[in-house]
Chains A and B, each alone.
Chain A
Amino acid sequence: MPLLRDMTLGQYYPGNSFLHCLDPRSKLISIVTLMTCLFISMEVDVLIAGGSLLTLGIARSGLPAGAIFRNLRPFVWLFFITFLVHALTTPGQPLFDFGMPVTREGLVSGLGYSMRLSFLILVAALFTLTTPPIELTDALDKLFSPLKRLKVPVHELVLMASLSLRFLPILVNEAGRVKNAQLSRGATLDGRLLARVKAMVPMILPLFVSAIYRAEALALAMEARSYTGGKDRSSYRELTFGRNDFLALGCSFLFLVFAIISL
């Protein structure tokens, strides 16, 4: 499963960098702002500014570059198709002709969209790589806590989300093991599409079974320690805003303003 192997999304890479030490709330707000800016504005300068911020973030994150850029690999096709569609369908000054005219504007917007998409993936990867799931949970919990007044079970939803993130790498590992086991029993992965789909059953079914068992065991373990969510629950590490957090928020705010002005 090459797709799963390349995804480091959802995994945490321990470290002490500027990004690791930020309050998860400011990190979350910053990346959401950054992503929004990349989407609302089509301008080249916004793309460049976003790219520079991202580069800065990657450089200061202390992560091996491979760990971040690997996440792009499963999406290469998406970038390619996006680029192609834009290149072929945007009206404008034709450059060359493959049955359909490829326009200058098309090339530019295709490139822009592909870069935008890859920036989004990199930003998300940078976030999850530098934020342990528990901090992500805390951040979401705190940020959405006003919704609790409307009887939205924020804490429970957040817990569910973070647990699924947490189990992703385990599931990937297990998928590898089951695949090896079935290969050893003479299963084949090649052949026509239908044959390949059928061959997936022995790989996927055991995964479901073990995921359900695991979930059950987890629920039991939580219950055994009398886990209850909700408003009376305190936490061992309180989130605190520091100087760097205001800096990060300030930067993203400036970027947002910049993106809106350039519209």
Chain B
Amino acid sequence: MTGKGVQLTTFFVPKLKVERPRIPAMQIKIENLSFSYKSPWSAPKEVLTNVSLTIAAGEMLALVGPSGSGKTTLMQHLTGLLKPDTGRICVDGQDIWQGSSLNTLRRRIGLVFQFPETQLFGETVLEDVVFGPRNLGLAEGEVRERAELAMQQVDLDVAEVGERSPLHLSEGERRRVALAGVLSMQPECLALDEPTAGLDAAGTRIVLDVLRQQHRQGRTIILVSHDIALVSALLHRIVVLNDGRVHFDGKKEDLFKDQAHLAAAGIVPPKARRIACALKRMGLVATEELYSFAEIKNQLDRHRPIAE
């Protein structure tokens, strides 16, 4: 498969074995959450201030904001890795800090941290991927099946890399192994922190394809990123976090319309959209709501068919 890998990815989504779409609905509701890190050095600094957010079951949304805006901190609150100072997080109406165990919750919400490849520990790739499903207490057959499916989803060949040490893979491949490690748990919701940071174009596409695929199967996807171009090409709902506060929550079209808002949140509209704006002013396209060069090209072709 080496060598053909890049080309294969273009076709690889339809080729996948269809997973049983049996994902229960999961609503996540964050209410007035505030949090500060306590440090022995200084007075506690509030990282999240009064954050409220509702994420519907099966929704795919992006959480964007500059570095230090609290994205990762918020993500860690989702499964109770951090405890809010005030406010609460409810999953299906139930406060996660009351009653049901956090461990169960962590099986339902899969977190993929930044540079997840640093968390690999298995002697072999397969050994690492099965760690999650094994912790779920599944039968060995099911564990194996899930691990193989997950590896297939991230375009890794079980026969080829399954028995190799993760340390001998490339960085992009290691990232995908880590992703497979979470996918294999088949959580209802996936939250990913900068999953494409540092990946090349092919690696990025594989990761994004996986996300789309998971979304289609009914999973809730929360994509944490500072890359506004990436998320606006992919998603509709964008939540902008700046300085620990929710600055914007809504459709991307509305976000980019309001220049003052954008500036306040420290966001530069993606290149594609800026070009689309210019093209619209020139009367070459009908709308400025274009978020990738492919969309621009489509519009241009439709508007002005190029005579051969």
Contact = CB atoms under 8 A, between A and B. Distances in A.
Contact of A184 (B42, B106, B118): B106
A99 interface: no
Contacts of B131: 182, 185-187, 202
Contacts of B291: none
A262 B111 CA distance: 62
Given A183-B81, A184-B79, A201-B121, A177 B40 contact: no
A183 B113 contact: no
Nearest to B117: A206
Given A184-B182, A185-B185, A187-B135, A202 B81 contact: no
Interface residues of B, number: 25
Given A185-B135, A185-B185, A206 B120 contact: yes
Contacts of A85: none
A206 B40 contact: no
A185 B113 contact: no
Interface in A187-240: 187-188, 201-202, 205-206, 209-210
A66 B103 contact: no
Residue of B106, B110, B167 with highest tally of chain A CB at under 10 A: B106
B119 A206 contact: yes
Contacts of A70: 40
A210 B118 contact: yes
Nearest to A186: B135
B279 to A, nearest CB: 43
B41 A184 contact: no
A25 to B, nearest CB: 26
Contacts of A13: 41
A8 interface: yes
Interface in B91-111: 103, 106-107, 110-111
Interface of A: 8, 13, 64, 66-67, 70, 174, 177-178, 180-188, 201-202, 205-206, 209-210
